[in-house]
Structure 1
Amino acid sequence: MSDLLPPTIDPVAAARWHQAAPPLSPWLHEEIARRMEERLEWIVQAPKSWLHWEPVRGGMQAHGLLAARYPQAGVQVYESAPQRAAVAREQLGKRWWQPARWLGGAAQFGLPAPGSVDMLWANMALHTAADPQQLIGQWHEALAVGGYVMFSCLGPDTLRELHAVYAELGWPVPGHAFTDMHDWGDMLVQAGFAEPVMDMEHITLTFATPQRLLQELRELGCNLHPARFAGLRGRRWRRQLEEALQQRLASPAHGGQLALTFEIVYGHAYKPAPRLRVSESSAVSLEDMRSMLRGGRNPGLR
């Protein structure tokens, strides 16, 4: 195992995966989005507008759940990869003849104006960012004062069984290290968010065969660790991997099926009004002054 600190992501590999990731929502992403959507029951004030960050990978079915929950809210959709942006426009855009285009609810596409949305929804995106602090900063910029972010990502216990198999066989790590939820909370505060609320859960997925397990992992992502194996693997290595998975991951508690653990981290935080640092001479931007005068506040939890 590398002694590098999380997220241990090769930025070149991360950028390549971001552009090439299949334009679909994996089952696990949709399930996590459904669970995260249930957490919106805690929010007292409904958003007047919300931004769906990278919905094609994060959960297209979840987009429908959110639109149904907030039918009167304005919707913004952001996809940075051209391939997935086209899919989002095709599946989430409204045709001119559809009533929804005239009655409200038609999605707008692209980055919103700074400080213009009340909720930012980002499901299962943060753990593949090579510079997560910069990404969190983008979220903060998009939100209005009093607006809030809802996000989820993978935590450090994810795929612990697979890491153990690779370590036993003396192979380089099978994936990058994931960030602990307490560190995400610190990064949120550093970006200017307030009152972060973090929680987590473990989900066990089971698979009938090693082939099905590896297929699921390919849909979820790829190895972004800087110390990953640099070359191409052959058929002999693939057979050895499948045999090791069959022997070591078979779980009596799950009828002999192969079991993998996923740690899911959920986060929520709001954007407070900017605080003016008082000195003999202070400069305040017009946007910050407007925000202070508006006196934005936390929408609150139930």
Structure 2
Amino acid sequence: MSHQLPPTIDPVAARRWHEAAPAQAPWLHEEVASRMQQRLEWIVKPPEHWCHWEPVRGGMQAHDLLRERYPQAECTVYEPVAARQLLAQEKLGSRWWQMARWKGAGVQVAQPADASMDMLWANMLLHTAGDPQTLIEQWHKLLKIDGYVMFSCLGPDTVRQLHRLYADLGLGPAGHSFTDMHDWGDMLVHSGFSEPVMDMEHITLTFATPQRLLQELRELGRNLHPARFAGLRGRQWLARLEAAMAEKWRDKQADGQLSLTFEIVYGHAYKPQPKVKLEANSSVSLQDMRAMLHQSRNTGLR
């Protein structure tokens, strides 16, 4: 399995999957979101405005948990795909008759404005991005000074059993390479974030049959490797794969269940105060100047 960073992802395939992915969150996404929101205990100051980035796939149940945690915070939901945007508006958007809307703690489905968010939450998304560096930079622009991003994604050890089986059968890559958590930290710093905190864990799921295992994988994503098989696989190929899973799966459990390992990477980082380079002629954007003046007032500096 290659450990190269994206763009080992086929960007065209990644875009197609992003547009065509089902308008529902897989079980694993909801489970990871539940674990990630527990990490908010580390955050001392609650957000006044936060952005839920693509919650339909990231976890609608998780959205409810976050709203319970921050009931007074206004939320902007971002969903770029039309079908999922409509579902988010229907399920999450505040109605005019709801009390939260009039208290300023409602939910709007919209494009967030630059430098408007205290927190950006993105669950189980980055590992399918064809250009993750650009996406992280976009998140950075949306956050206020001292705002932070919270995200999760799949790591390199994900579905290692399937990669071994594909290699044994000579079937080519089973999927694209996933980025290591240390490399995600480097991308965050390169995008302007500071104090990145990264950690990971392994979650192992078991399945009674190869058919159920493959169904779960189809809900989670697609093979986005540029060197994946270019044509369509037939029924005979699928039958051969399922038979090989049942007979040769190296991590088969004692009770006959098939196990599949997922490495989950969690990360958060802050948007720091902009630094001004001292040169003969220095320039500062109006937005950065306002941010620095606001920070000075808050810290008592003059």
TM-based fold match above 0.5: yes
Where in structure 2 are the equivalents of 1:80-91 lying within 5 Å? 80-91=80-91
**Number of aligned residue pairs:** 296
Q: What is the match of residue 284 of structure 1?
A: 284
Distance 1:102 1:217 in 2: 42
Where in structure 2 are the equivalents of 1:145-164 lying within 5 Å? 145-164=145-164
Q: What is the match of residue 126 of structure 2?
A: 126
Structure 1 residues 3 and 205: alpha-carbon distance in aligned structure 2, compared to 1, 3 A threshold: closer
Structure 1 residues 178 and 252: alpha-carbon distance in aligned structure 2, compared to 1, 3 A threshold: closer
Distance 1:235 1:96 in 2: 52
**1:71 is aligned to 2:80:** no
Confirm or deny: 8 A CA contact 2:46 2:70 kept in the other structure: yes
**Offset from partner CA, 1:111-163 (integer Å, 9 cap, x none):** 21110110000000000001000000011000000000000000000010000
Give the counterpart letter for 1:180 in structure 2. Answer: D
Confirm or deny: 8 A CA contact 1:206 1:254 kept in the other structure: no
TM-score (norm 2): 0.95
Give the counterpart letter for 1:152 in structure 2. Answer: S
Confirm or deny: 8 A CA contact 1:67 1:105 kept in the other structure: no
Distance 2:267 2:44 in 1: 17
Give the counterpart letter for 2:292 in structure 1. Answer: M
Q: What is the match of residue 210 of structure 2?
A: 210
CA RMSD after TM alignment: 1.5
Structure 1 residues 175 and 106: alpha-carbon distance in aligned structure 2, compared to 1, 3 A threshold: same
Q: What is the match of residue 299 of structure 1?
A: none
Q: What is the match of residue 116 of structure 1?
A: 116
Where in structure 2 are the equivalents of 1:227-238 lying within 5 Å? 227-238=227-238
Structure 1 residues 99 and 217: alpha-carbon distance in aligned structure 2, compared to 1, 3 A threshold: same
Confirm or deny: 8 A CA contact 1:118 1:144 kept in the other structure: yes
Structure 1 residues 207 and 7: alpha-carbon distance in aligned structure 2, compared to 1, 3 A threshold: farther
Distance 2:241 2:106 in 1: 47
Where in structure 2 are the equivalents of 1:1-302 lying within 5 Å? 5-6=5-6, 8-249=8-249, 251=251, 253=253, 255-295=255-295
Secondary structure of 2:112's partner?
coil
**Offset from partner CA, 1:259-279 (integer Å, 9 cap, x none):** 000000000100001000111
Distance 2:175 2:282 in 1: 47
Give the counterpart letter for 1:283 in structure 2. Answer: S
CA shift, 1:246, in A, is 1.2
Which consecutive unaligned segments of at least 5 residues does structure 2 have?
297-302
Structure 1 residues 273 and 254: alpha-carbon distance in aligned structure 2, compared to 1, 3 A threshold: farther
Give the counterpart letter for 1:162 in structure 2. Answer: L
Distance 1:184 1:234 in 2: 37
Q: What is the match of residue 299 of structure 2?
A: none
Confirm or deny: 8 A CA contact 2:3 2:178 kept in the other structure: no
Secondary structure of 1:295's partner?
helix
**Offset from partner CA, 1:32-63 (integer Å, 9 cap, x none):** 00000000011111011100000000000000
Identity of aligned residues (%): 67
